[in-house]
Amino acid sequence: MKLKHLLLAGVASLLGTGAMACSFENTVPLKSLSAGFEAWKVVTDAMAECGNFEASLDQEFKEKQPAAFAANPSLYHIGGVANATLIPLLNEGTIRPLDDLIAKYGAGIKPNQMIKIDGKTYAIAMMVNAQHLMYREDILNDLGIAAPTTYAEMMAAADKIKAAGVVDYPIGGTFKTGWNLAEEFVNNFLGEGGEFFGEGNMPNINNAQGMAALEVMKALTAYMDPEYLVSDSTYVQQQFQQGKIAMANLWASRAGAMNDAAESQVVGKVTMAAAPMGSAAPASSLWWDGIVIAANITDEEAEAAFKVAMEGLKPDVIAANNDAAVWLVDGFTAGPLAAGAAATAAAGARPYPASGPMGIMHTALGNGIAAYLNGDKDAATTLADIEAAYTTAAKEAGLVK
């Protein structure tokens, strides 16, 4: 028992050294569940300063969250969600509208941060994220290549880089089978101006836009590490950091890692630019991450949870961790690392079209595209099979008649 106290005291003193101490003493025991990337670590660490707060940072949070919030009382008070993971909570009515709490305690929240559904605010966004072009400025300058703005230019540049032999693979891609691969298709399909669904949630990808998206993906793989089907964002980030690739359409949240001297050999050499332009929009989709409060808790707990959450999103917390994300919160100064996300949004990238059917579509895409890239199926069969897989699953879920 004594040892435990000593340890706790030690941890507390370590935490206490931060300059961003909480402005009040929280007495209501609170728990949060969110993804585990850097931005969430920053925010939950700041919340923990208020005391009586326990954060679960879990990259697989999406599998737990709907069930945990549906429990009564809810197992967590604060949830971290993104566009897509908000959907099940909203559908099952397990998160509460925040308008009253915002009026009371949310003076610092900007209108842009409020996620509104039919006029009610259900989430407070803290950051945006999008895949955008990152490239090695030094390599492109040495070879006299202008910064690419489309995939065609990117591949032309890749040819020159390949010929010069300065890196192992000119292009890196988050093509890991499953969620990542599907996200790449979504980006390209939106870039071509596609709409995923028609009337009655029927799939609508087996068309010219779908073909174009698949073809550009296959063309890109010729410039990639042949093990692209197992490359996730972290792997591509590491390839960048180790100087093995020269260009990639990578997440804005990974930009900070390029200049992390402890890990990266390319500090200051990677430039952030807009995502390659498709025929209608940039080949990217805008995501946000933010905070929700559970419905199945007492009003008192909800109030404490909201206050603690606001402490995590204080301007000085954000200012001290400026490069951890593209923050939407006051205190953020958009530096060169955020330039790519800003340019992508400015060029008209569309928000990720999160919905119940889209969750099924994303899974079907993630499972189905590899067969095309491997050469097992042609593009039309691949798209038809994905539509069939979607329809089967959507019928089972009750979304398609």
Partner 1 sequence: MPFKTFAAFVGPSIFMMLLFIAFPLASVFSQSFHVTQPVYEIVEVETCTPGFLTQTCITEEKSVPKLDENGELIKIRRFVGLQSYANVLELGRAKEALATGSWQAFQNIDFWKALRFTLTFTLITLPLVLGVGLLIALVINNASARVRGPVIFVSLLPFIITPVIGALSINWLFRGDGILTATLEWWLARDIAMFAQAWTIEILMMLYRVWHVAPFAAIVFYAGLQTVNQDSLESAVIDGASRWQRLRYVVIPHLMPLIVFVTMIHLMDSYRVFEEVVGFSSQGHVISLQWLTYDFLIPDQAGNRSISRASASAMLTMIGIVLLLIAPLRRTWREHKGGH
Tokens, residue 300: 């008192």
- The C-alpha atoms of residue 357 and residue 199 are separated, in whole angstroms, by 12
CB of 34 to partner 1, least distance (A): 14
* Total residues in contact with partner 1, by rule CB under 8 A: 69
Considering only 286, 291, 308, 310, the residue that binds partner 1 (CB under 8 A) is 286
Complete DSSP assignment for 218-241: HHHHTTS-TTGGG--HHHHHHHHH
Tell me which of 23, 71, 376, 380 binds partner 1, using CB under 8 A: 376
Contact between 354 and partner 1 (CB under 8 A)? yes
Two tokens at 214?
A: 């698949």
Stretch 22-81 residues interacting with partner 1 (CB under 8 A): 62-63, 66
203: burial class by Cβ within 10 Å (0-12, 13-18, 19+)?
Answer: buried
Q: Which two tokens stand for residue 304?
A: 């404490």
Instruction: Give CA–CA dist 394/202, Å, rounded.
Output: 9
Nearer to partner 1, 105 or 179 (CB): 179
Please enumerate in sequence order all residues whose Cβ is within 8 A of that of 172, keeping only pairs 6 or more positions apart, or say none. Answer: 224, 225, 231, 236, 239, 240, 244, 245, 247, 248, 250
Contact with partner 1 (CB under 8 A): which of 32, 34, 85, 174? 85
Q: Shortest Cβ distance from residue 200 to partner 1 (Å)? A: 8
Among 79, 80, 88, 276, binds partner 1 (CB under 8 A): 88
**Region of 114-122, 159-167, 264-272, 297-305 interacting with partner 1 (CB under 8 A):** 114-122
What is the rounded distance in angstroms from the CA atom of residue 70 to the CA atom of residue 350? 31
Candidate residues 29, 93, 268, 335; the one interacting with partner 1 per rule CB under 8 A: 93
Maximum C-alpha span of the chain: 68
136 by DSSP, 3-state: which? strand
Cβ pair 51, 22 in contact under 8 A:
yes
Binding mask 191-230 for partner 1 (x = CB under 8 A): ----------x-----------------------xxxxxx
Q: Segment 307-326, which members bind partner 1 (CB under 8 A)?
A: 326
Contact 231, 178 (CB under 8 A): no
Query: Binding partner 1 by CB under 8 A: which of 41, 162, 218, 377?
Result: 377
Q: For the window 234-253, what string marks contact with partner 1 as x by the rule CB under 8 A?
A: -x------------------
Shortest distance in whole angstroms from residue 36 CB to partner 1? 16
- Listed ranges 254-262, 277-285, 306-314, 358-366: which one lies at the site for partner 1 (CB under 8 A): 358-366
CA distance 341 to 153: 20
End-to-end CA distance of the chain: 59
Contacts with partner 1 by CB under 8 A lie at 62-63, 66, 83-85, 87-88, 91-93, 111-119, 125, 128, 176-179, 181, 201, 225-230, 235, 286, 288, 295, 326, 328, 341-342, 345-346, 351, 354-360, 362-363, 367, 370-371, 373-374, 376-377, 381, 385, 392-393, 396-399
